[in-house]
Amino acid sequence: MKIAIVGSRSITVNNLGDYLPENTTEIVSGGAIGVDRSARNYAKTHNIKLKEFLPEYERYGRSAPLKRNLQIIDYADEVIAFWDGMSHGTRFVIENCKRKNVPIKVYALANK
């Protein structure tokens, strides 16, 4: 199962395995700092396939991160979001998952 890990740049998740379904075959991420970096590190440490969607600024300009987030949602089977309650990008993912009926689990975490 392709699991997207998204979240606020202010959050680091050291125990990511506690949140992943057992049938995770691929981790999908946006390649940023914070939660995205936690996802990358976990995938590499545990030999799980990693797919990173990076923002294409030359193509989309300022909207590149939002376009990237939509690519992540469309690619993943399920999304896990770690949200600090303020990140606009994470809120965008949460709202679009609900709109597109993509399964999402949201964990409200403070800065770590």
Tens digits of residue pLDDT in 26-69: 999 999 999 999 999 999 999 999 999 999 999 999 999 999 99
State whether the Cα torsion 105-107-45-89 is positive or negative.
positive
Number of structural domains in the chain: 1
Asked if pLDDT for residue 90 goes beyond 90, the answer is: yes
Please report, as a single letter, which amino acid is at residue 61. G
pLDDT at 109: 82
In a domain, 10, yes or no: yes
Query: For 65-88, what is the mean pLDDT?
Result: 97
The structure tokens listed for 33 are: 């700092």
Spell out a b/e string for 18-33, using b for 16 or more CB atoms within 10 Å of the CB, else e: eebeeebebbbbbebe
Residue 29 in any domain: the answer is no
Asked whether residue 16 is assigned to any structural domain, the reply reads: yes
Which one is predicted more confidently, 110 or 26?
Answer: 26
Domain coverage including residue 99: 2-24+34-67+75-108
Q: Is residue 62 part of a domain?
A: yes
Residue 110 pLDDT > 60, yes or no? Answer: yes
Do the domain assignments include residue 97?
Answer: yes
pLDDT tier at 111, thresholds 50, 70, 90: low
